Chains A and B, each alone.
Chain A
Amino acid sequence: MTIEDIQNEIIDEFSMFEDWEERYQYMIDLGKDLPIINDEYKTDSNIIKGCQSKVWVHAELNNDKIEFTADSDAIITKGIIAILIRVFNNQHPKDIIEANTDFIDKIGLKEHLSPTRANGLVSMIKQLKLYAIAYQTQIK
């Protein structure tokens, strides 16, 4: 599936929920399916800055596609990073770099996009894209 396909799938899933509670409950459940980062990569240098909770992300290049793993000590943050990784996992770096992330708005999580939000959704997206930029240079 392309990044856009996955985003549309997530938008469909979230459209079924009637209130914030169901949305957050689902996000919390998604956090539980997050591909968890290997302990050896759970280092301070892999912590994403700008989050009130800790978020670690690791990226590896396999067959020209990026595999992300992550973890967080906060459950809602874990849900948010899980959604992002579901969108970007096993995608080509170039597609990740070019992807837009408007879907966040469409699934009712726009409030987390404000740069003042402590969870650092903006920082997470930036970090995932930075990994993609770094690996893109390796492919060439």
Chain B
Amino acid sequence: MLDVSKIRADFPILSRQVNNKPLVYFDNAATSQTPEVVIDTIVDYYSNYNANIHRGVHTLSQEATDKYEIARQKIQAHFNAKFSHEIIFTSGTTHSINLVANGFSALLKAGDEIIVSALEHHSNIVPWQMLCERTGAILKVIPMNQEGELIMETYDKLLSNKTKLVFVNHISNALGTINPIEYIIEKAHAVGAAVLIDGAQSCPHIKPDVQALDVDFYVASAHKVCGPTGVGMLYGKEAWLNKLPPYQGGGEMIAEVSFEKTTYADLPHKFEAGTPNICGGIAFGAALDYMNAIGFDNIATYENELLAYATEKLSTIEGLKIYGTAKHKTSVISFNLEGIHPYDVGTILDKLGIAVRTGHHCAQPIMDFFCIPGTIRASFAFYNTKEEIDILVAGVKKAKMMLS
């Protein structure tokens, strides 16, 4: 059981007011809030050992390098990667996806096929469309049903020996659907295709085991798991990371440079050109420590309770429709009020101190599927409460009254 009031005390921002009302933060799928221990880590870095890493002989540089590499090991342990050099620090999920998509430019040829799902965030669509433009590869799409679940029978049919790569999110940001990635990975491997899983939305709720999943690439962002913005990670199997060419050139990623020929550094540095977000990487490690101390099983159990409670309460509002009713979903509720634009509802809720996301959630194909301009999305974290959900429900009722 979680001691939620104790947990809430860890997050300074949760005690602030918005529009003279206590903040109710339900935009966790966009970014999670930051506990004091992570903020302290950031302050400690800049106060005590701010230095560039991997190159200075001086003490500060060595301290910073040690902490940065310890953070990499924490991430390795968290995702159960075989080697720490299979963890590449990036600026976030989008960067990680672009890194892999760019690398595959060298590996794909015209007529090769790559498969995406209908449930993706734009950041797991556009880099691959660009890859197709560069290589002449063909993009295929796994469709979804009215509940917001991917249709696996169609996926089976899309797979062939032409399939080189499959990339789907573990959990949909717009609807909260948990995708059957074990099945997707197994089937893709059976035809010799690699799989990238976008874990931006799963990592706040689930502790993925990349070896058990046998996934080729897994990508995530620190700011969704109580860490800072601007840092994330790419897990790649060693063999794949060796096969991909470097993404960006610069310092740190080289072994030797001359004007005749440059040789590249070993993993993970080959993909880490330039001075990285050192502080961010270290804070990412601290954030995972914090969440692991609470325990992902405890988090999932509690968030499922919140989801069930919110679904039940919101469903009592006449004219409210929930989008995404998959059997397996996380604590995300996307909804609309009949005849009312989601933007209007979001504006009124903000006036009441309630932070939700409105709009297409960077997933326009999903909105087109349901023929709607967007939704109101409330996404819950382990520091939210049922009392806050009551405030949301009252707020939605008030918005409905004002806007009808």
Binding site for B on A (CB under 8 A): 20-21, 24-25, 28, 52-54, 73-77, 118-119
Contacts and interface: CB of A to CB of B under 8 A. Distances in A.
Interface string B324-347: 000000000000000011011001
Interface of B: 19, 340-341, 343-344, 347-348, 351, 358-359, 373-374, 402-403
Contacts of A76: 343-344, 347-348, 403
A73 B347 CA distance: 14
A25 B402 contact: yes
B343 A118 contact: yes
A132 to B, nearest CB: 27
A24 B402 CA distance: 9
A24 B347 CA distance: 10
B344 A52 contact: no
Contacts of A74: 341, 343-344
Contacts of B403: 28, 75-76
Contact of A20 (B341, B344, B351, B373): B351
A25 B403 CA distance: 8
Nearest to B339: A75
17 contacts: A24-B351, A25-B402, A52-B358, A52-B359, A52-B374, A53-B341, A53-B343, A73-B373, A74-B341, A75-B340, A75-B344, A76-B344, A76-B347, A77-B341, A77-B343, A77-B344, A119-B347
B385 to A, nearest CB: 25
A28 B343 contact: no
Contacts of B348: 24, 76
B312 to A, nearest CB: 28
A118 B376 CA distance: 14
Contacts of B340: 75
Contacts of B343: 52-53, 74, 76-77, 118-119
B374 A28 contact: no
A73 B351 CA distance: 20
B402 A21 contact: yes
Contacts of B351: 20-21, 24
Contacts of B344: 53, 74-77
A85 B121 CA distance: 37
B19 A73 contact: no
A20 B348 CA distance: 10
Residue in B340, B347, B374, B402 whose Cβ sees the most chain A Cβ within 10 Å:
B347
A73 B372 CA distance: 11
Nearest to B358: A52
B359 A118 contact: yes
A22 to B, nearest CB: 11
Contact of B373 (A53, A75, A119): A53
A98 to B, nearest CB: 31
Contacts of B373: 53-54, 73
A131 to B, nearest CB: 24
Nearest to B374: A52
Contacts of A24: 347-348, 351, 402
For the complex of A and B, 5 pairs with smallest distance between CB atoms:
A74-B341, A53-B343, A74-B343, A52-B343, A76-B344
A118 B359 CA distance: 9
A14 to B, nearest CB: 16
A76 B359 CA distance: 15
A28 B341 CA distance: 13
A54 B341 CA distance: 10
A41 to B, nearest CB: 20
A59 to B, nearest CB: 24
A116 to B, nearest CB: 13
B33 to A, nearest CB: 20
B368 to A, nearest CB: 15
A29 B402 CA distance: 10
A73 B341 contact: yes
A53 B343 CA distance: 7
B40 to A, nearest CB: 29
A77 B358 CA distance: 14
B94 to A, nearest CB: 19
B355 to A, nearest CB: 13
B373 to A, nearest CB: 7
A51 to B, nearest CB: 8
Nearest to A74: B341
